[in-house]
Structure 1
């Protein structure tokens, strides 16, 4: 059956909470007790919700109730909306400007995010920023769950669940190439031209094996008949930590070139000439939920990012 716009307008927040409570308790009686309502009242709420959405959201049996596939999808989408209301209530209680929760990758914190925040604040936007860094998969999940309002960083559509893709609004920002780096004192740093055999016996500082950079390097090694890279140190998603390790140890690493164009890299970390590896570029984008894309604070940050990148060299 089709959804009912009129019934959608009549829904309240407790209708949305109902799905979460059903998932937790798997009993309408327990849900009613939690909401302080009678069981018939909860059953009617559920009917109203299913009629409004035009879908069966719950399976009923003698064992109790549980969410259908559509019910789980509705709950997942609703959680982000509930998070918005919860955050808004907390902000109003504090009497402070609204908070924009931004997820990003550590590499973006070297120059892109600080420059964009400076520009957005200079435009007079009354907003506070709560920044959170992590892997792309974790940030996408946090966006889906309503823990962050947007994500600025590497986009890897291969690992985004199909049911999530249609809920996201993506805007491409830029691409930066991956490069092999080492300290300026490393024996390979002075070599003008390298061959695959030069990398056969070197040791590396790399992120975990499921990271995109690690996977790309391993594939490049196999394509050149080199086997697997020899790893001395494993560092999770931390370009700054990698560079500090390279300054102290004769290791190689893989970093986005944008990181080398920052004061943090200085002159002690250099890129090697390894065109034979053909490492995949890093695509960086701005990601938010479709229903949030017109939020003024998000628009301001997105505009600041675009303006910042337009005047920079990545």
Structure 2
């Protein structure tokens, strides 16, 4: 902390929100109107901000104002910090225990997170948990913006700019794999194996096109030289709906293997052997903002997740079970 500029202590919350307004309006004059300030006053706020950080955050030109690459990273950090501050202010305004905001993918709600909360004895831990499930991209975006305290699920590191990844701390937890499945009443159930070519000829229910699982499925078919099936039904990031559709409509589905072990799947949904269709295993991670390293509730949840996965700190997750 000794390397921080002493000028940072003089910054105000309004100055940290300034970058958000500049990014939105692309004009210091428009930002002034939004803040009910003159343009020179906004310019001085920006100069003070850049002086405190010791770098140029905004490019000014006759066309307006735009964040520099460093300014964009600063905006991301400011968003996260301000969201954390707002959440703290909300918690301090009530006598209830603080809320830990956890983002995840729906499949992790079938076993991993409930098992961790059971291990943690959540009802007696003095912590309230807010669980939100969604697509990988949505959850990671909300984590980076400070709207979530942590995220448990799949991470698409290739789609994340390096400066953003550097804001995060992560722990690998476990791996699972995607499997093609169907109802026990489906004509393909009980077959020793089914080829990709034959699978593509049957009707499917698949995750929506903006999900990583859908991308994995389509890639697997293309790697076999077979066009990916066009689904009869698209389901947005919800394996529960896929299980119901497989059972009631006899559509083929592709879900994380852990989902098939749930009570909802029971013995009515069975996996298919698809030897030529390679579906990449899914690595599940625990991810949090570096700013929250010292948050006790975060440590408790992380340690419970590691315990459930049979890991100590520094251990390597077991390979996916095929």
Indicate the larger mover: 217-226 or 243-252.
217-226
Q: Distance in 2 between matches of 1:158 and 1:306?
A: 24
SS at match of 1:203: coil
Match in the other structure for 1:5: 5
Indicate the larger mover: 255-264 or 203-212.
203-212
TM-score, with structure 1 as normaliser? 0.89
- Map residues 167-178 of structure 1 onto 2, 5 A cutoff: 167-178=167-178
Indicate the larger mover: 93-102 or 54-63.
54-63
| 1:122-165 deviation digits (Å, cap 9, x = unpaired) | 59432211111100011111111111111101111122233311
Task: Please state how far the C-alpha of 1:240 moved relative to its aligned partner.
Answer: 0.5
Match in the other structure for 2:314: none
SS at match of 2:188: helix
The answer to whether the aligner puts 1:272 opposite 2:264 as a matched pair is: no
- Map residues 129-278 of structure 1 onto 2, 5 A cutoff: 129-278=129-278
Q: Distance in 2 between matches of 1:158 and 1:26?
A: 29
Indicate the larger mover: 9-18 or 301-310.
9-18
TM-score, with structure 2 as normaliser? 0.87
CA contact 2:73–2:164 (8 Å) conserved in 1: no
Match in the other structure for 2:315: none
Q: Distance in 1 between matches of 2:138 and 2:304?
A: 24
Match in the other structure for 1:20: 20
Indicate the larger mover: 102-111 or 92-101.
92-101
Q: Distance in 2 between matches of 1:190 and 1:177?
A: 20
Match in the other structure for 2:125: 125
SS at match of 2:226: coil
Task: Please state how far the C-alpha of 1:180 moved relative to its aligned partner.
Answer: 0.8
RMSD (Å), alpha carbons: 2.6
CA contact 1:4–1:51 (8 Å) conserved in 2: no
SS at match of 2:302: helix
| 1:74-127 deviation digits (Å, cap 9, x = unpaired) | 112101100111111111112221111111011111121122123334594322
Q: Distance in 1 between matches of 2:286 and 2:56?
A: 34
Task: Please state how far the C-alpha of 1:186 moved relative to its aligned partner.
Answer: 0.9
- Structure 1, gaps ≥5 residues long: none
Tell me which protein shows more helix as a share of its residues: 1
Q: Distance in 2 between matches of 1:36 and 1:284?
A: 47
SS at match of 1:226: coil
CA contact 2:193–2:275 (8 Å) conserved in 1: no
| 1:161-194 deviation digits (Å, cap 9, x = unpaired) | 3331121212111000111100111111111233
Indicate the larger mover: 88-97 or 17-26.
17-26
CA contact 1:4–1:52 (8 Å) conserved in 2: no
Q: Distance in 2 between matches of 1:183 and 1:97?
A: 44
CA contact 2:139–2:151 (8 Å) conserved in 1: yes
- Structure 2, gaps ≥5 residues long: 312-317
- Map residues 25-40 of structure 1 onto 2, 5 A cutoff: 25-26=25-26, 28=28, 31=31
CA contact 1:103–1:152 (8 Å) conserved in 2: yes
